[in-house]
A and B are shown apart, each in its own frame.
Chain A
């Protein structure tokens, strides 16, 4: 899928070997265009999570370069990493919501700890809660919400910095099929609002129905990269 200009995400001959000798990613090169929607598929343990973690620099590659928005994050000084992460929204399988904060507070937290002025916080939080369709549940605690609602809140938190790139690592791994479908539709809508979305999944049905770009990993290497792909090729 060649395209002109700067890639939203680019991997250039990236290999990651963890201390202990496990090679999670083997010589991966790929480019993801701005505003693209990409599925990264593969069985558990094929390096999907490691791939994602290298984009937000939770993990550094053993060799090769990872570029986000044209910037090599592998050479980025540690003190700039927080500012990279404000431009990359991250969603997890286990939501990572703080249990003693309400939905509103969980989302506001992401703005507050990065020094956004308080008069702006409430407005922006309500804005993203609208986007994920949970404005009415703003004062519910995570324990009072369904798994699907909790995942929507975590998506709202990922979006509240208005990042150009959204990473979702197995976002439907803990959800039933109907809820999974709703979350995928939400991610598609976010993609339509000019956000690059990268989703790892092993949900065959969703990938096969949506027919988006599919990058398949096996043993840490890219074995397939199709523009309108299916889960099983």
Chain B
């Protein structure tokens, strides 16, 4: 017993050391398995993040308690005052602010940035004047907008209902395509991981045979392979997380500067949930792949 020995075949330490050793020994194949897991999880993670952001934007819009009532061009001041009063008297309205044509243009300039030179492009201001109507609850907006449309001098009124509907539909599409693409890639990842682990099974077939003959249980024999699969999946997940999260941080920061009116969820809100989701999926794919690999060898 003076020779240095590997962890004796007992307990968690043995399973971990055998699994890690096999992962390293399979070299290029392990790398291929990790790579395909990364690709799978990047697709999955990107879909999750994009769908999450769209959902966030949609719900932010939904929870807005403002409707905008656009006024017909050339309305006299008396009519404007009259309209202002009428809007204020609608049920649920808590405040009405007038935005003139000139102010509307200023706001658009601010939102888009100073680069655009409107004066050179436009001979006259095409933006309508409007009233921004505040409601006490988002549910009231539909009735308020409908009532406002019937008032004299009103061109139209909206509270972003179409935008919200479209955003939510887009969210569903992104989720669904993410699931389809991610699912297809996950199958490929499964096959590659299973092939990689089959190399380990093959390298250790003599040991497995002896274990079976001396009465080791099937789970005892499986554990090192499950560990190898889990390591592969976890490595893939960490790399995919770094890629997706890194990209999102860059996009979110860029958007904050150039598209300030777009309310994206803050990176720190997105990142933690994403990490656990990707890690779970990576480990699940790796473990299922490893069980596929040893299934045939453990049949009695």
From B207, B214, B218, contact of A114 by CB (8 A): B214
B216 & A114 in contact (Cβ 8 Å cutoff): yes
Which residue on chain B has the smallest CB distance to residue A139? B3
A81 & B206 in contact (Cβ 8 Å cutoff): no
A14 CB to nearest B CB, Å:
17
Check if A143 is an interface residue, CB within 8 A of chain B.
no
A58 contacts which chain B residues (CB < 8 A)? Answer: 300
Check if B215 is an interface residue, CB within 8 A of chain A.
yes
A57 contacts which chain B residues (CB < 8 A)? Answer: 300
Which residue on chain A has the smallest CB distance to residue B300? A78
Which residue on chain A has the smallest CB distance to residue B2? A139
Check if A102 is an interface residue, CB within 8 A of chain B.
yes
Check if A79 is an interface residue, CB within 8 A of chain B.
yes
B300 CB to nearest A CB, Å:
5
Which residue on chain A has the smallest CB distance to residue B209? A96
Check if B217 is an interface residue, CB within 8 A of chain A.
yes
Interface size class of A (residues with CB under 8 A): 20 to 34
Check if A113 is an interface residue, CB within 8 A of chain B.
yes
B215 & A98 in contact (Cβ 8 Å cutoff): no
Check if B10 is an interface residue, CB within 8 A of chain A.
yes
A85 & B215 in contact (Cβ 8 Å cutoff): yes
Q: Mark B166-202, 1 if CB is under 8 A from A, else 0.
A: 0000000000000000000000000000000000000
Check if A16 is an interface residue, CB within 8 A of chain B.
no
B209 & A82 in contact (Cβ 8 Å cutoff): no
A96 & B206 in contact (Cβ 8 Å cutoff): yes
Using known A-B contacts A82-B215, A86-B214, A98-B207, determine if residue A113 contacts B300 with beta carbons closer than 8 Å.
no
Q: Mark A35-59, 1 if CB is under 8 A from B, else 0.
A: 0000000000000000000001110
A83 & B215 in contact (Cβ 8 Å cutoff): yes
Which residue on chain B has the smallest CB distance to residue A158? B214
Check if A157 is an interface residue, CB within 8 A of chain B.
yes
Using known A-B contacts A90-B213, A96-B210, A96-B213, determine if residue A82 contacts B218 with beta carbons closer than 8 Å.
yes
B244 CB to nearest A CB, Å:
41
Which residue on chain A has the smallest CB distance to residue B9? A112
A112 & B10 in contact (Cβ 8 Å cutoff): yes
From B1, B3, B5, B220, contact of A113 by CB (8 A): B220
Check if B8 is an interface residue, CB within 8 A of chain A.
yes
B217 & A118 in contact (Cβ 8 Å cutoff): no
Q: Complex formed: what's the CA distance from A112 to B6 in Å?
A: 13
A170 contacts which chain B residues (CB < 8 A)? Answer: none
Within 8 A of B (CB), among A88-123: 90, 96, 98, 102, 104-105, 108-110, 112-115, 118, 122
Q: Complex formed: what's the CA distance from A207 to B111 in Å?
A: 100
Using known A-B contacts A78-B300, A102-B3, A112-B10, determine if residue A85 contacts B217 with beta carbons closer than 8 Å.
no
A147 contacts which chain B residues (CB < 8 A)? Answer: none
B207 contacts which chain A residues (CB < 8 A)? Answer: 98
Q: Complex formed: what's the CA distance from A161 to B216 in Å?
A: 12
Which residue on chain B has the smallest CB distance to residue A99? B206
Q: Complex formed: what's the CA distance from A81 to B212 in Å?
A: 9
Which residue on chain B has the smallest CB distance to residue A87? B215
A113 & B214 in contact (Cβ 8 Å cutoff): yes
A82 & B10 in contact (Cβ 8 Å cutoff): no
Q: Complex formed: what's the CA distance from A114 to B9 in Å?
A: 9
Check if A84 is an interface residue, CB within 8 A of chain B.
yes
B218 contacts which chain A residues (CB < 8 A)? Answer: 78-79, 82
Check if B147 is an interface residue, CB within 8 A of chain A.
no
B206 & A86 in contact (Cβ 8 Å cutoff): no
Q: Complex formed: what's the CA distance from A102 to B211 in Å?
A: 16
Within 8 A of B (CB), among A117-160: 118, 122, 139, 157
Within 8 A of A (CB), among B214-233: 214-218, 220-221
Name 23 A/B residue pairs within 8 A (Cβ), A-sorted: A79-B217, A82-B212, A82-B215, A82-B216, A82-B217, A83-B215, A84-B215, A85-B212, A85-B213, A86-B214, A96-B213, A98-B206, A102-B3, A110-B214, A112-B10, A113-B214, A113-B216, A113-B220, A114-B216, A114-B220, A115-B10, A118-B8, A157-B214
Interface of A with B (CB < 8 Å)?
56-58, 78-79, 81-86, 90, 96, 98, 102, 104-105, 108-110, 112-115, 118, 122, 139, 157, 161
Besides the known contacts A58-B300, A96-B210, A115-B220, 10 further A-B residue pairs in the complex with CB atoms under 8 A apart: A78-B300, A79-B217, A82-B215, A96-B213, A105-B5, A109-B9, A109-B210, A112-B8, A115-B10, A161-B215
